[in-house]
Amino acid sequence: MAHVIHPTAVIGPDVKLADNVRIGPYVVIDGDVTIGSGTEIGAHTTISGWTRIGEGNRIFPHASIGQDPQDKKHKRDDKTWLEIGSNNVFREFTTANRGTIDGGGVTRIGNGNLFMAYSHAAHDCQVGDGCVLANSVALAGHVHVEDRAIVGGLVGVHQFVRIGTMSMIGGCTKVSQDIPPFAMSVGIPALVYGLNIVGLRRSQMPTESIKALKEAFRVLFFSGLSRSSALERVEREVPQGPDVRRLVEFVRSSERGVTAGSTSVAAEE
């Protein structure tokens, strides 16, 4: 099926459109941009730079995709990229910037993500698959968001932070250290309050795996042990399934430090 372009849209000469792309009123697309089949682009959206967008994405009005990174070291002619997978939704006024030379050159967004209104993915961010960024989430540069993470509204995430798979961050949280996989976190600053039990069950994680993760969380975040001692104890005493091993490796490899457990939960333990 041929693509549909509103007559008020402006499409640059280097833009490559696959079949069945729909482009709304007053859209501006310019630069080395490729857009996959079935993608819909809402009114007043701008897409620029070296940008690759996959199939079946929905980009709502006033989004800004592929603009220069907000980094003082960036030079106007630096050839850096924004790569977006398939079946993502970018709601109104979302922004996703290209990478920087120093940061690897690519901002990368996977498949099936939901970016709610006013959310922002800065330069060199890496967002996995199936994530949700609620309204006004701000990811600073170099943030890594692993698959199926959920970030609540008005959350600010410091640069170079990692957000682990299937974690959930409550609204208005200040995130300055890594959020562990499978965790429920909230606060200013963020604190870990336990497992994302509902998310794990919805993912059909086996009961034994959830039980092992719960014990690992108790030792790592609520036992009062040092991080190194807690890791040793988890490896020694907790069944080492793939999810526990992923948690342990995430914590061990952290460069910014991992978000601490809440003392109120530790007291209950």
Residues acting as catalytic residues:
123-124, 141
Structure tokens at 31: 């630069």
Yes or no: say if 247 and 227 are a contact pair by the CB < 8 Å rule.
no
The edge-to-edge listing of strands for the beta sheet with 162-163 is 16-17, 33-35, 50-53, 81-84, 106-109, 126-127, 144-145, 162-163
Q: Pick from 114, 138, 110, 113: which is nearest to 126 by CA?
A: 110
Yes or no: say if 136 and 119 are a contact pair by the CB < 8 Å rule.
yes
Report helix, strand or coil for 155.
coil
Distances (CA, A) of 16 to 50, 52, 61, 119, 225: 12, 10, 21, 26, 56
Chain CA centroid to CA 76, Å: 26
Place of tokens 């398939």: 86
Pairing of strands 81-84, 162-163: unpaired
